[in-house]
Each structure stands twice: as structure tokens, then as C-alpha cells.
């Protein structure tokens, strides 16, 4: 079953030695698919090593997912 996942990730390209985090939302079938998409996200540090922490991934509660769906642009 597909659902929304919330990721807290480290931003990239903000200068040497500086760190900042941002929140991203991904609609996927499971955690493995979320991590595969995370590897290709632009603007975030997606190479995990000592300095770059693993992203915080959590399923989005149904109430928050509905709010997020309202923000989605219609095609």
C-alpha cells in the first residue's frame, strides 16, 4: 500500500562546514523505495558517511497526509 513518508535530510551546497536540514515528502510503496528515491534527490546530501547522517524517515499520519494532498497541484 502506498503512503506518504516524511524525511528530514541534510541540505547540500550551502558552504564548507555548514549544515542545515530540510523536510521532504515522498509518496512510495515502502521504505526501500523511499531510500532509492532519496539517493537521487537534488540539493540534499545523499552519500551517507560519518559526517552525513542517515535521513530520518517516518510514515506520515493519515491526517497530515490529507493536508499534504490538498497542497498538491492538480494536473
**pLDDT tens digits for range 19-44:** 788 898 999 999 889 988 888 888 88
Q: Please give, one letter per residue, the 3-state secondary structure of the chain.
A: CCEEEEEEEEECCCCCCCCCEEEEEEEECCHHHHHHHHCCCCCECCCCCCCCCCCEEEECCHHHHHHHHHHCCCC
**pLDDT tens digits for range 41-55:** 888 877 766 555 677
Amino acid at each position: 500500500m502506498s503512503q506518504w513518508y516524511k524525511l528530514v535530510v541534510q541540505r547540500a551546497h550551502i558552504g564548507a562546514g555548514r549544515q542545515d536540514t530540510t523536510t521532504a515528502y515522498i509518496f512510495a510503496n515502502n521504505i526501500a523505495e523511499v531510500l532509492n528515491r532519496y539517493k537521487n534527490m537534488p540539493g540534499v546530501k545523499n552519500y551517507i558517511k560519518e559526517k552525513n547522517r542517515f535521513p530520518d524517515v517516518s510514515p506520515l499520519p493519515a491526517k497530515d497526509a490529507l493536508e499534504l494532498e490538498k497542497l498538491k497541484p492538480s494536473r
